[in-house]
Amino acid sequence: MARAFGGPWTEDKLEIVERYLEAYMTIMRGNEKARRFTTTYVDAFAGPGLRQIATSAGEPGLFDGQDDGEITEFYRGSAYRAMSISLPFDRYVFVDSDRTALEELKQLIRERFSDLKATVHLGDANEVLPRWVKTLSPFDRAVVFLDPYAMQVEWNTIEVLSEAKGLDLWLLVPIGALMRLLPHEPPPSAWVRRLDRFFGSHEWYDRVYMHQSHNTLFGPEENVERLASPGRLAEYMLERLSGPFKFVLKTPYLLYNSKGACLFMLCFAATNKKGGELAVKIAGDIAGKHRHG
C-alpha cells in the first residue's frame, strides 16, 4: 500500500530532484573521465516508493453506483523516480525507519526494477549514513537526498556527509516545524536541546530571540522579543551549510502550502572541488525554471 502524505508542494520538490538526477547521470555517462567513477543514489527517507492522495471528486458519478466522494490518486515517490531515470545509477541505497514501508519498497524493486543494484536498510538515517560514508572510495560519486518529514536529520549527519569527496546533497529543511518550536516566549529546555541537535549549535537562539533589560518603578525587568521568521531561519540554515560545504545553492527552493505558509526549504550543496560549482549552477537552473514555470 502506498503511503498517504504530501500535496502539490511534494510534487514540486520531487520533480526538481528527479530532473537533477537526469542531468547528473547524463554528465557522468557522457564524460569519459567521469565514467570511471561508481555512482550511487542515496535516499535516507525512502518510504514505499509510491504515495497516495485522496482527493474530492467534485462531480457526480458518471455511472450509477460510482463513489463520487473521494478519488485516490497514486504518485511516484522519490525512490521510484530515481530508479526510473533514463540513465540509472550504478547503485541505489534506500533507508527508512518504517519496516512496512521498506517491505513495500522491496516488493516494488522486485516487480519493476529488478535489473538495478539496490540495497534497502532499516534504521535511523543518522546512524546508517555515517556507516555508509566510511565505505566510499576515491572512485565513488554520490547524490544524497535527505527528505525528512520533520526534524529527523541531525547536524552531525550533515557534517559527516560534507567530509565525503564527490558528494551532492539535496536537503529538505522543515521551516514550518522549526517555527512551531519557536514560540513567542523562549522554548522549554527539551525543545532547545532538539534545536541544538538540528542546527549543531546553540547560536540559533540569539538569531531568533532578543533579550532587553530596562528599569521600572519595581526594579529591572527583562523582555524577550521573538525575531523568528521563515526568512530568518532560511538565511541561518544556509549560513550553517556554507560552513562544512564549499558549494551551496544560495537561492533554495521554498515550498508553500495552499494558504501561502512556508513549509519547507529545498537546499542543495556539493563537496566536489572540481565539479561542485557546476553542480550548484545546474541545481539552481533546474529550481529556477521550476519556480518560474
Could you list the beta-strand ranges (E) of 50-109.
Answer: 50-56, 70-76, 91-96
pLDDT at 66 over 70: no
Give me the percent of the chain exceeding a pLDDT of 70.
Answer: 84
pLDDT at 246 over 80: yes
Q: Is the dihedral of CA 142, 147, 148, 154 positive or negative?
A: positive
All residues at 6 or more sequence positions from 44 whose CB lies less than 8 Å from its CB, including other chains: 95, 96, 125, 128, 129, 144, 145, 146, 147, 153
Confidence of residue 8 (pLDDT cuts 50, 70, 90): low
φ, ψ for residue 110 (rounded to 5)? -65, -40
All residues at 6 or more sequence positions from 212 whose CB lies less than 8 Å from its CB, including other chains: 222, 223, 224, 225
Q: Give the global pTM.
A: 0.87
- Residue 200 is predicted with a pLDDT of 96
- Residue 59 is predicted with a pLDDT of 36
**How does the average pLDDT of the chain come out, rounded?**
87
Say if strands 50-56 and 3-4 run parallel, antiparallel, or are unpaired.
parallel
